[in-house]
């Protein structure tokens, strides 16, 4: 498994070397903390890497490996820094922000859609959202190599940074007044926030949004998953760009 590092020594050395993009570290609740575990936690905190104590059942898929109750999940791509992204020149550019999307297949589909629509980057939080993993990479069908994925510790801080840099923020919400096609997406840099199906965009992000939009439904049945919903919205922005006079 190229996307997993097993064992205390291997995980600690990967953290010290700093040349692997680690999504998350899982530590079994059943192992006792020792100097190596404490060092791993210390290094992870310093690097801003999430670590979680989980039930031993989480390690069942890795039973054939000498994991010692600890694994590190590795990203197949290197994440980009938001500040670095913003130093580049952007004109009528678009970003997609994912707030709580948990399904790897949805994330992969979103990446493909974003690349096809010319989106310039995808922002994800380091917690409570799927990270770039082998399933995401495969589902994206190679598109992951054509768009930067920006990982941030706080979406609220990231959105505020975007607004301070003259980006407009559009959040999706089922109870919004405006339909997604009522917004003029031309002549501005904008970011579209997509939430998970079961929770939607968080209230803290909705408060920061310059616009909130919805996809109108002819039946009282919300059947669109997040990747389908994003496709509808993002290709409306493409249509507007192509038909701009």
CATH 3.40.1280.10 domain range(s) in the chain: 82-243
pLDDT, tens digit, for every residue of 147-198? 999 999 999 999 999 999 999 999 999 889 999 999 999 999 999 999 987 7
Between CA 23 and CA 20 the distance in angstroms is 9
Q: Is the pLDDT of residue 128 over 70?
A: yes
Region 112-124 average pLDDT: 96
CB 84 within 8 A of CB 199: no
Architecture of domain 4-74: 2-Layer Sandwich (3.30)
Q: Is the pLDDT of residue 244 over 60?
A: yes
Q: What is the pLDDT of residue 195?
A: 92
Structure tokens at 142: 């190679």
- Greatest Cα-to-Cα distance within the chain, rounded to the nearest angstrom: 66
Q: What is the pLDDT of residue 111?
A: 96
Ramachandran assignment for 236, one of left (phi > 0), alpha (psi -120 to 50 degrees), beta (any other) = alpha
* pLDDT tier for residue 2 given thresholds of 50, 70 and 90: low
pLDDT, tens digit, for every residue of 5-47? 888 988 998 899 887 888 889 998 888 778 888 999 999 988 8
Count CB-CB contacts under 10 A for residue 147: 20
CATH 3.30.1330.30 domain range(s) in the chain: 4-74
CB 148 within 8 A of CB 123: no
**Closest listed residue to residue 7, CA positions, set 27, 21, 24:** 27
Kindly report the backbone phi and psi dihedral angles of residue 205, in degrees, each rounded to the nearest multiple of 5, phi listed first: -80, -35
pLDDT, tens digit, for every residue of 49-107? 888 898 888 888 888 888 888 999 888 888 999 999 999 999 999 999 999 999 999 99
Taking CB atoms within 8 Å and a gap of at least 24, the contacts of 43-49 are 43/12, 43/15, 43/16, 44/15, 47/15, 47/18, 47/22, 48/126, 48/153, 49/15, 49/22, 49/24, 49/25, 49/126
**Closest listed residue to residue 228, CA positions, set 92, 101, 65, 143:** 101
Q: What is the pLDDT of residue 144?
A: 92
Class for domain 82-243, per CATH? alpha beta
Q: What is the pLDDT of residue 223?
A: 66
Q: Is the pLDDT of residue 1 over 60?
A: no
CB 31 within 8 A of CB 68: yes
Region 133-158 average pLDDT: 91
């Amino acid at each position: 498994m190229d996307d997993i590092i097993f064992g205390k020594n291997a995980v600690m050395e990967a953290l010290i070397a700093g040349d692997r993009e680690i999504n998350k570290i899982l530590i079994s609740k059943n192992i006792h903390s020792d100097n190596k575990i404490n060092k791993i936690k210390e290094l992870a905190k310093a690097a801003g890497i999430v670590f979680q104590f989980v039930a031993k059942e989480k390690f069942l898929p890795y039973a054939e490996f000498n994991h010692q109750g600890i694994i590190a999940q590795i990203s197949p791509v290197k994440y980009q820094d938001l500040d670095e992204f913003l130093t580049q020149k952007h004109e009528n550019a678009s970003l997609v922000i994912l707030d709580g999307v948990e399904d790897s297949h949805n994330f992969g589909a979103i990446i493909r859609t974003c690349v096809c629509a010319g989106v310039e980057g995808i922002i994800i939080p380091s917690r409570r959202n799927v990270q770039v993993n082998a399933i995401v990479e495969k589902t994206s069908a190679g598109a992951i190599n054509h768009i930067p994925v920006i990982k941030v510790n706080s979406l609220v801080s990231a959105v505020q940074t975007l607004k301070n840099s003259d980006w407009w923020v559009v959040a999706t919400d089922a109870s919004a007044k405006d339909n997604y096609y009522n917004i003029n997406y031309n002549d501005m840099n904008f970011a579209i926030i997509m939430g998970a199906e079961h929770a939607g965009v968080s209230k803290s992000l909705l408060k920061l949004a310059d616009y909130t939009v919805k996809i109108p439904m002819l039946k009282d049945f919300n059947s669109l998953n997040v990747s389908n919903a994003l496709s509808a919205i993002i290709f409306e922005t493409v249509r507007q760009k192509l038909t701009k006079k």
